[in-house]
Structure 1
Amino acid sequence: MSANIKNIVIRPATDSDLPQLAEFLQHLVEAERPFDPTLKEGEIFYYDIQELILDKATEVLVAEIDNQIVGCGYTQIRSGKEYEKHESFGYIGFMFVKPEFRGNGISRLLLQNLKEWVLSQGITEIRLQVYHENEAAIKAYEKDGFKKLITTMRCDIG
């Protein structure tokens, strides 16, 4: 399905969006399961979405087309480590677009709006985490200016 980008509205999430956002979170978990053998079975809630909406250091955005929520993402102001150049940075998470709406620039529009919010807080660095094997997401983030920084490694020892 190709959406007209002019019909896309990016806005802050509200409590009335919580059921849809909870559903998106489970879709995101299912999409990430093949990349992460450490995830438990069943429903997983990486975070409390309502708490994120209420948090002054966090901006949760939704993308709507014709009053239907089709995507979301958040950014949160986090403290840097004492040895890092930036005292604080924006952290992006919960990036999700419904499969039938992908390829319409919705993620890019969400990212632009999240970056603008971080800049409005006086912060000039933004970070995110993405699974190493999630090549589609990595390519999308690289198109938006992100560069790989660190790789987390793991192994089962018992």
Structure 2
Amino acid sequence: MNKKLSDLLFREASIEDLPSLRELEQGVIDAERPFNKQIKKEPTYYYDIEDLLSSDAAHLLVVEVNGRIIATGYAQIRESTPCFTHKKHAYLGFMYVLPDFRGQGVNSKIIEKLLMWSKQQDVEDCYLDVYVENTSAIKAYEKVGFTSSLIEMKLAL
């Protein structure tokens, strides 16, 4: 599906989008299962979508093509730990584009809009999490200016 960015509608998500958002959430989880064998096999949930929709501290975006939601992402303002010079930061999550629409700059445009919103909230620092083996996602985030800053390590006992 080679749609031009001008054909896409970028908008704030609403409660009416909840069923589509739940489906996209499962897409995120399915995409991340190869990177983390501890993710449950049955449907599970990452996000409190209702809270993201109702919170003034969050901005949840969707992207539509012909009335169908094909991508999503959010920025959430969070308190920073006291050791940092910034008191608050933006955290990006729920970054997902349906496979047929990848490679067309949709994710970059979502991030651009989320960063603009974050700046309007007087935020100067932005974070996100990505699995270290997810090289395509890492490249996409680096393309818009993110750099690696911390690697979380785990050990299954």
1:60 maps to 60
**Which deviations, in whole Å up to 9, do the C-alpha atoms of 1:8-37 show, x marking residues without a partner?**
111100011110000000011011001012
What amino acid does structure 2 have at the position aligned with 1:93?
A: G
1:72-118 residue CA offsets vs partner (Å, 9 max, x unmatched): 00010011110112110000000000100111111011000100110
2:94 aligns with: 94
Distance 2:115 2:4 in 1: 23
The secondary structure found in structure 1 opposite 2:47 is coil
19-28 vs 46-55, which deviates more? 46-55
* Structure 2 unaligned regions, length at least 5: none
Q: C-alpha separation between the residues in 2 aligned to 1:156 and 1:64?
A: 39
Instruction: Report the counterpart of residue 16 of structure 2 in structure 1.
Output: 16
TM-align CA RMSD: 0.9
Measure the CA separation in 1 of the matches of 2:156 and 2:4. Answer: 47
Q: What letter is aligned with 2:132?
A: H
**How far, CA to CA, are the matches of 1:46 and 1:118 in structure 2?**
22
**CA-CA distance at 1:5 after TM superposition:** 1.2
**Partner in structure 1 of residue 29 of structure 2:** 29
Corresponding residue number in structure 2 for 1:40: 40
- Paired residue total: 157
> Counterparts of 2:66 and 2:7 in 1: how far apart (Å)?
7
Residue number in structure 2 paired with 1:82:
82
Runs of 4+ in 1 over 6 A off after TM superposition: none
- Percent identical among aligned pairs is 38
User: Which runs of no fewer than 5 residues in structure 1 stay unpaired?
Assistant: none
